[in-house]
Amino acid sequence: MDELSLIESRLTATEKDVADAAKLVSLQRDIVTKLEDDGRDATTARKLLVYFGRSLALHTAERDRFI
């Protein structure tokens, strides 16, 4: 596999990682909202949201390096 093909392959995989992470952030945001609307403790859910947001940022940065 030549270098360009390898980069294209990694870019495709990284774009999938970005999409997956974005979906997790969206779902977790919905969970936090639902917990808060129900008057429940959302502390752990918020911590997970921060973690998922950081993961998304890392995947996005990696994708941008390939681009």
pLDDT at residue number 66: 84
Predicted TM-score (pTM) of this structure: 0.88
Q: What is the pLDDT of residues 4-40, one digit of tens each?
A: 899 899 999 999 999 999 999 999 999 999 999 999 9
Reported as a pLDDT band with limits 50, 70 and 90, residue 1 is confident
What are the distances in angstroms from CA 31 to CA 16, 34, 37, 51? 23, 5, 10, 14
Q: What span, in angstroms and rounded, lies between the C-alpha atoms of 35 and 42?
A: 6
Name the residue ranges covered by the structural domains of the chain. Answer: 3-66
